[in-house]
Structure 1
Amino acid sequence: MTDDQLHITPRVGRILMSEEAIYGLILVSGMIVVSGSSTGTAVDALITVGVTVIVFFAAHVFAGTLGRLAATDGKAGLRASLSASAHQSGGMLLAAVPPLLILLLGATRVIDDSLALWVALIVNTVLLGALGWIAVARWSTHWLPRILSAVVTAAFGGALILLKAIIHH
């Protein structure tokens, strides 16, 4: 399945195919597990995940800006380095949107707290698998590498679901 088949704009496709997007989904899953294990409410998870993603995004942008400035001996300029780093790190924010929306449904009592936590983790795992599939589909037409990439990428989310199951019970 390609970006065109998913009706994703090229810009959004590039952002989603970034290491930052994959890292963002794994980060969000980890924060759901940690926040959900302490109190178990979607409100707490929503706040914890939202704040953590913003802090990690800001830290990633800051580190990227410094790295770009250092690599160019400052010739890239602060504004250009900051802009490039923020653009590259955008996947972390974009990837956090679906689980945050699910947690918001739990926080507003549209769905049960526990269900919101589990659904957010499952959605993240499915998204990880999809990103793994699409990433390999960009360079290979063979189904085996695509499936292996999807399984390995989704396994990061699966590991966190397993951790939540162990902590929760």
Structure 2
Amino acid sequence: MKKVLTICVLVVLLSALMVHAIPLQQAYTEAQPGAGYDKMIVLDPAETYTGGLEFDDESICIISCGALIDLQGDRIIANDNGYLDICGVALTNSDSAAIKVNTAGQGWIDHCTFAGNYDGVHFWIGTNLTMTSNIFSYSERWGVWTDESTSRFLAYNNAYSNLGGHYKEWCAG
């Protein structure tokens, strides 16, 4: 009887320690339109989300009050004409830029924490991006990496302990 009780207690304790993770792609698939966006993804701060997301020609909003997105070597990519607003999340564990905004992409990154990624944010030629009140830390390379031909507004951001530097602008020639 004592062994059975001990085993039951161990099973309960181990199950309580297991982290339940939800794929970010699943949250995207289940999201509905809202507030003028094609997809309004509301993340529960009590949950951990895993993996990345890539989209074209859509307007996406990812919003939370502290949800963790463990990218597991992946990234969030807004491709050509993609629009991404993201607020209140922590992004970690990307083997590239945690958020990448490609040609003609646009959006707003607000009150997010980027920690332990290769790059925090990378936005490229012809993009239009606003970044306010974010933290970029412990990147293997850059906190923020941009091209000279982008339209950008950065305010109230903080960057530290990024091995390559905090802010990088690539200039042709």
Provide TM-score, normalisation by structure 1: 0.21
* Greater radius of gyration (CA): 2
Q: Which structure's residues are more often helix, by fraction?
A: 1
Provide TM-score, normalisation by structure 2: 0.21
Q: Which structure's residues are more often strand, by fraction?
A: 2
